[in-house]
């Protein structure tokens, strides 16, 4: 409140308009002034006030020495730069728009006056470009001024300074350009030209300017999102293809290179209809397919290894291999091992059945075959295969188990009973077919009634079949 109160009492709109009107561009200094000492003292006092940030105190002192000697002692441009610093800070505290307008006019005039009186810097270099950059910076960040006015100075500064355009105006340059493009006030070509120019300047300074290069890097990173927001509009697919095609052609088999190019083109809105996109896509698909094939081969190998390991530790698998190899004693041992390890009744029934097959059909140990077949049937009552096996083994043993023709036919009756049992418990088509085939094949070997009577028996009676079979059958005739 103190600053604003003092400022209001000292600075009025008419005061600023008066200052503006006195900026004639003449470069008067105090060297020949009659009150030179007084001017030098006031110059010193206002500068001390500026250092202390007391701009309201500094202003009237600065105004007095400036009106008489705008060029100070003819060797320094401090009255112009100090005046801008004072006005800029007082402007921030002012709430009256009309007064602010007068202050801004004075502020801008001081740039023109400085260049007229002091066109060269201490190294003898023309400083118009520098002053324009400073003006752009203040108009953009401090005064939030009209963008068209700022751009006019910006373009002139860019033309004058070229690759040495200051980093402080990079962001305003980009921001104004993007906003003008969005407002349809400049074309895509013009916006793209600014983008290219800004990146060229930043890249040049990053590479060659050790002191300020990091600042240009910060500005380049800061403006990137601005241009990305209009990227698809100002950077058409054709433009990017033209730019990136040489990079691809220089090393078309470099995966990292062509993947990067594909992602860039995809981000720029290029589609599969673009030949370069299609070419890279096909290459990536081929590579992807090769990777998938390699992964599948690796998976298949893992599965095979797992199966091999499982088989190596699975006695039932080892028993099957031994059986196929004709090593029936090993098969018997491994099936027995599988039975001892197994807890699932159905699988255990299967192992007993296979053990019965091995004993009966290969080792001719029919008693062991029978006991294992019956065990398999008890563990899995709905499986008819054990009964098919027993019927087959009984039938093959008819001659060895029957002392005469009648007894041999009784063995056949025992076999037929097993086949019928298989049909009764198992609806599997294969079991049914095998049972029916065998029953039909041996139907002609059933005894005649006369044969039954001649051997002291009656049809419907029972007969005890001996040998390893050891079963009682019901006598049936043809």
d(CA 42, CA 47): 8
Q: How many Å from the N-terminal Cα to the C-terminal Cα in the chain?
A: 132
Q: How do residues 16-63 score in pLDDT, each as one tens digit?
A: 433 443 444 469 999 989 999 999 999 999 999 999 999 999 999 999
Higher-scoring residue by pLDDT: 232, 40: 40
Length of the chain: 478
| Residue burial 80-91, b: 16+ Cβ < 10 Å; e: rest | bbbbbbbbbbbb
CA angle 471/475/478 to nearest 5° reads 130
Percentage above 70 pLDDT, the chain: 94
| Average pLDDT for 353-377 | 96
Q: How do residues 246-269 score in pLDDT, each as one tens digit?
A: 999 999 999 999 999 999 898 888
Q: How do residues 441-452 score in pLDDT, each as one tens digit?
A: 998 888 888 889
Superfamily of domain 315-474: Tetratricopeptide repeat domain (1.25.40.10)
Higher-scoring residue by pLDDT: 24, 400: 400
CA angle 447/369/462 to nearest 5° reads 30
At residue 311, the pLDDT reads 65
d(CA 6, CA 90): 10
Residue 5: band (very low, low, confident or very high) from pLDDT cuts 50, 70, 90: very low
| Average pLDDT for 102-107 | 94
Identify the bridge partners of residue 474 per DSSP, sorted by sequence position.
Answer: 462
How far apart, in Å, are the Cα atoms of 210 and each of 130, 168, 214? Answer: 20, 16, 8
Of 361, 356, 363, 364, the closest CA to residue 386 belongs to: 356
Q: How do residues 429-443 score in pLDDT, each as one tens digit?
A: 999 999 999 999 998
Q: Which residues contact 131 (CB under 8 A, 6 or more apart)?
A: 111, 114, 115
Q: Where are the domains of the chain?
A: 315-474
At residue 384, the pLDDT reads 97
Give the predicted TM-score (pTM) of the model: 0.52
Q: How do residues 59-83 score in pLDDT, each as one tens digit?
A: 999 999 999 999 999 999 999 999 9
The whole-chain average pLDDT of the chain stands at 90
Is residue 9 predicted with pLDDT exceeding 60? Answer: no
Of 377, 379, 400, 378, the closest CA to residue 387 belongs to: 377
| Average pLDDT for 295-318 | 82
Higher-scoring residue by pLDDT: 456, 376: 376
| Average pLDDT for 190-197 | 93
At residue 8, the pLDDT reads 35
């Amino acid at each position: 409140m103190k600053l604003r109160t003092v400022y209001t009492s000292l600075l009025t709109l008419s005061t600023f308009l008066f200052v503006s009107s006195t900026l004639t561009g003449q470069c008067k200094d105090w060297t020949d002034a009659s009150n030179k000492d007084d001017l030098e003292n006031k110059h010193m006092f206002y500068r001390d006030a500026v250092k202390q940030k007391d701009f309201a105190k500094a202003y009237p002192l600065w105004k007095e020495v400036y009106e008489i000697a705008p060029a100070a002692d003819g060797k320094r441009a401090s009255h112009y730069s100090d005046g801008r610093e004072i006005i800029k800070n007082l402007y921030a505290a002012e709430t009256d728009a009309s007064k602010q307008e007068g202050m801004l006019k004075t502020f801008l005039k001081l740039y023109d006056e400085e260049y007229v009186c002091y066109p060269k810097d201490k190294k003898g270099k023309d400083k118009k470009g520098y002053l324009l950059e400073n003006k752009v910076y203040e108009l953009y960040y401090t005064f939030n001024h009209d963008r068209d006015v700022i751009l006019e100075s910006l373009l002139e500064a860019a033309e004058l300074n070229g690759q040495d355009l200051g980093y402080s105006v990079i962001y305003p340059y980009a921001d104004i350009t993007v906003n003008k493009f969005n407002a349809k006030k400049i074309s895509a070509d013009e916006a793209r030209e600014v983008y290219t120019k800004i990146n060229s300047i930043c890249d040049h300074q990053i590479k060659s300017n050790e002191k300020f290069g990091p600042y240009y890097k910060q500005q380049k990173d800061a403006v990137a999102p601005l241009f990305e927001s209009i990227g698809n509009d100002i950077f058409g697919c054709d433009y990017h293809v033209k730019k990136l095609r040489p990079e691809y052609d220089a090393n078309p088999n470099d995966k990292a290179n062509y993947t990067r190019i594909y992602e860039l083109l995809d981000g720029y809105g290029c589609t599969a209809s673009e030949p370069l996109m299609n070419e890279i896509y096909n290459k990536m698909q081929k590579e992807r397919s090769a990777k998938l094939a390699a992964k599948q081969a690796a998976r298949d190998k893992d599965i095979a290894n797992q199966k091999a390991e499982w088989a190596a530790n699975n006695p039932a698998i080892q028993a099957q291999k031994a059986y196929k190899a004709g090593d029936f004693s090993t098969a018997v041992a491994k099936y027995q091992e599988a039975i001892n390890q197994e807890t699932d009744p159905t699988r255990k029934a299967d192992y007993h059945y296979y053990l019965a097959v091995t004993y009966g059909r290969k080792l001719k140990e029919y008693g062991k075959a029978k006991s294992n077949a019956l065990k398999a049937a008890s563990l899995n009552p709905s499986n008819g295969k054990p009964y098919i096996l027993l019927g087959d083994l009984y039938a093959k043993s008819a001659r060895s188990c029957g002392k005469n023709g009648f007894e041999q036919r009784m063995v056949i009756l025992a076999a037929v009973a097993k086949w019928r049992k298989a049909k009764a418990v198992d609806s599997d088509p294969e079991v049914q077919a095998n049972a029916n085939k065998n029953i039909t094949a041996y139907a002609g070997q059933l005894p005649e009634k006369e044969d039954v009577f001649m051997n002291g028996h009656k049809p419907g009676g029972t007969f005890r079949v001996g040998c390893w079979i050891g079963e009682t059958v019901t006598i049936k005739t043809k």
